[in-house]
Amino acid sequence: MQKQTIKDIKDLAGKTVLVRCDFNVPLEDGKITDDSRIVGALPTIEYLKKANAKVVLASHLGRPKGERKPEFSLAPVAKSLSSLLGQNVALAPDCIGAKVEKMVSDLADGDVLLLENVRFYKEETKNDPDFSKQLATLADIYVLDAFGTAHRAHASTEGVTKYLPAYAGFLIEKELNYFGQALGSPKRPLVAIIGGAKVSSKIAVLKSMLDKVDTILIGGGMAYTFFKQQGHEVGLSILETDYLDTAKEVVELAKAKGVKLLLPVDITVGDDFSNDCNIKIVEPSGIEPKWEGLDIGPKTLAMFSEIIASAGTVIWNGPVGAFEMPNFSKGTFGIAKALADSSTISIIGGGDSAAAIKKVGLVDQIDHISTGGGASLELLEGKILPGIAALLDK
């Protein structure tokens, strides 16, 4: 999917550019606990500043559900941006209206203004045309740099593109390049590691990936639906009985398409969903009635790691165990380490997998960590992301 980027804009000097960022950062007592999303937006902002554009930033934060709630104000983001950019970034009192229009018109070339939370208006998530138009009147050009919301047809991601020429920022460009290459012309073998709790949430990804990959490694809670379908006892493990036929279908499709589909060969089980429970390692056929699978076992980790080491490209979406508990984190953290140690092109599909990579401090050793869990999932499913589809084609 080739889209025009900010580098394709001929003359930015003196132009007002509305940039949709993803500043939905975690807050604790009003303080930002992880500023990586803000840092991720800096290359686009600094490029526009250097080109003497007037930069107007828009974002959401949390879920205020169309109401003005102080705890969801972008004030901490404005403070962080001011520090990171080394210049004052004012926070507008609103995202539309006469006061905001005045603040925008008063901007000098290279100035940066942050609009207040767009989700203070219910019209944002409803993709209301009038609200989109009001946002569009603030600028000459629109730039989308919020991959995390690109799968939503909201006013500030898709609606505004009906009134302004729309380009991709550097974050979006990077996402499209990595996923485009991995799904279009990957370095092979192409391996997908699909984890997470449920088959139901990943079924579309599994089916879509069967047309693209050489190998699929399945872990996490979703594996137990496959084991049950094979006739194994799964005890208290996560199980979706409605998806037993689907699991069978996926296995048969993989066989028909010549794709290796591998399930865990051993499992770390506990007699309670807690870090301090009794633990043992069993084969898939050895789960007892009152026990539950909470991680892949050491033999599975070794097998998966070997496949990762010989892969050309690996796409990882979803943890392979309850990694929030130290005793059940070995599988997920082990896969993270195997990816970091390998020479494979590694792409992490956001969400919990990205959180695991960050937790073990291996971010710098991964080729690409997606900034949007939901958006990356939909890309892997083969869906069109409305925010990106609305951008100008190359």
Question: Does the annotation count 231 as an active-site position?
Answer: no
Dihedral over Cα of 335, 341, 342, 345: its sign = positive
β pairing state of 31-32 and 27-28: antiparallel
Name the token pair of 25: 């950062």
Name the token pair of 374: 């939901």
Question: Does the annotation count 290 as an active-site position?
Answer: no
Question: Does the annotation count 361 as an active-site position?
Answer: no
Contact between 265 and 300 under an 8 Å Cβ cutoff? The reply is: yes
Q: Write down the residue that tokens 């996490």 correspond to.
A: 220
Burial class of residue 231 (count of CB atoms within 10 Å of its CB; 0-12, 13-18, 19+): exposed
Distance CA 338, CA 344 (A): 10
Contact between 170 and 44 under an 8 Å Cβ cutoff? The reply is: yes
Distance CA 311, CA 158 (A): 37
103-111 long-range CB contacts below 8 Å, 24 or more apart? 104/16, 104/54, 104/56, 104/138, 104/139, 107/16, 107/54, 107/56, 108/54, 109/13, 109/14, 109/52, 109/53, 109/54, 110/49, 110/50, 110/52, 110/53, 110/54, 110/55, 111/54, 111/55, 111/87
**Catalytic: which of 351, 372, 373, 387?**
351
Name the token pair of 300: 């599975």
Distance CA 146, CA 22 (A): 5
Question: Does the annotation count 351 as an active-site position?
Answer: yes
Side-chain-side CA neighbours of 135 within 13 Å: the count stands at 36
- Give the single-character DSSP code of 195: -
**Catalytic: which of 15, 69, 133, 198?**
198
**Catalytic: which of 37, 49, 119, 330?**
37
Contact between 79 and 41 under an 8 Å Cβ cutoff? The reply is: no
Name the token pair of 221: 């809670």
**Catalytic: which of 40, 196, 297, 374?**
374
Burial class of residue 384 (count of CB atoms within 10 Å of its CB; 0-12, 13-18, 19+): exposed
Which are the catalytic amino acids? 37, 198, 351, 374
